[in-house]
Amino acid sequence: MTLPPLDAHAEHLLRELAPQVLGTVVRRYRDFAASEDAVQEALVAASRQWPRDGVPDNPRGWLIRVASRSMTDHVRSETARRRRETAVALDTDLQVAPELGAEADQDDTLLLLFMCCHPALTPSSAIALTLRAVGGLTTAEIAKAFLVPEATMAQRISRAKQSIKSSGVPLQIPSDQERAERLCAVLHVLYLIFSEGYTSSAGPDLQRTDLSNEAIRLTRAVHHLLPDDGEVAGLLALMLLTDARRPARTGENGELIPLDEQDRSLWDQAAIAEGIALVTEALSKRSIGEYQLQAAISAVHDEAPRAEDTDWPQILALYGLLMRMSDNPMVTLNHAIATAIVKGPVAGLELLKALDADERLAGHHRLDAVRAHLLELAGDPQAAIVHYRTAAGRTTSVPERNYLMTQAARLSEGSEPP
């Protein structure tokens, strides 16, 4: 959902409230596409009125009220156009927007998360739609996360909305069985929202803390709902252990600082302790999943007081287990990095060859960035420069591009004759 231009405070408030309001409107009217349009209209109205009149005492209630009025108008219009008995009956119920009461204070974001993972949708479509509705990501950002062209993602989101509308299956609070069936997609959505917030795929800032914080908040809510689920706990642990490094990831000017160069005294020790406790308990249970293994890898990093103290053989072993569960090319890429550190850069470079034919990574900057780093470790600075520059040209993140160009420039200076 794209927000109108606002000052920083109002934009943050509207971005935080948008999925909560959408959840309430969708639950009430059960028409996702129309509800999304109505909420967008409410956001636009807020962008015009709030700077002039001030932010209302109950901003969520204000947005719900405006969106509900828009939905009532939509229903009336549909009734007049179609003249169907069902629409007339619905119109009778909605002639006046219902009073908000305590509903305005109810956060329906988690409900919206499960509702978006609708049975009429494929898993990929459900994830894309939820990233748009709950995460507030643009179509371009979602396409980047899925490693597909933006036009493809736009069509996927449009088809998802149409599939829900034509399925005849209402948007409603899922039962316990439906919740269990949708949990995998929900966790993947939260993972992608966090990832986009932790390392923004585009723009001038490396991080979007509004997205990563919202992902952590929602994952806590799911964990509260399902405290005995190991993968839910594993995902929350992964987020906490990763986000704990956020204060040390950028310099004074927002420049990227890689993991091995970070000031670890800046890491959030409380988040690390909570994450380690969560993943330790989750791994003690019978079933082990991908998020638990990723959290375990993050824990190994976070427990090392210095970069050189990192237990890379253990990380390599954990990535080996993770590769048996997942065909994600990013897992293979990270496995190659761990292999290079444990067994040497040539071994890591050899593993990268299998990814060259993977269409999901075709043109992705991270493959070139990793290859450049391993080529540098292997003593081939000229080839490393080429791949650093190629990676810089492919990323749409300004801090990542600047970092990659800096690495290329550093090697270029070092290779020049005296």
- In 226-311, which ranges are continuous DSSP H helix? 230-243, 269-283, 290-303
Cβ-contact 147, 364 below 8 angstroms: yes
Architecture of the domain defined by 313-413: Alpha Horseshoe (1.25)
Highest mean pLDDT, choosing among 168-177, 279-288, 366-375? 366-375
DSSP 12-51: HHHHHHHHHHHHHHHHHH--HHHHHHHHHHHHHHHHHHHH
Structural Rg of the chain based on CA atoms: 24
- Where is pLDDT greater, at 88 or 140? 140
Phi, psi of 294 (to 5 degrees): -65, -40
One-letter amino acid for residue 358 of the chain: D
How far is 415 from 324, CA to CA, in rounded Å?
Answer: 41
Highest mean pLDDT, choosing among 109-118, 201-210, 237-246? 237-246
pLDDT tens for each residue of 389-399: 999 999 999 99
* Predicted local confidence at residue 31, as pLDDT: 77
Torsion angle defined by CA atoms of residues 11, 16, 18 and 21, in that order, rounded to the nearest 10 degrees? -140
What residues does each domain of the chain span?
227-310, 313-413
pLDDT-derived band of residue 151, with 50, 70 and 90 as boundaries?
A: very high
pLDDT tens for each residue of 184-233: 889 998 998 899 889 988 888 899 888 899 899 889 989 998 999 999 99
The whole model's pTM is what? Answer: 0.79
Cβ-contact 146, 124 below 8 angstroms: yes
* Predicted local confidence at residue 92, as pLDDT: 37
Q: What is the mean pLDDT of residues 142-149?
A: 79
Q: Which residue do the tokens 């509260």 mark? A: 224
> Worst-scoring range by mean pLDDT, 24-28, 185-189, 251-255?
24-28
State yes or no: pLDDT of 12 exceeds 60. Answer: yes
* Predicted local confidence at residue 285, as pLDDT: 81
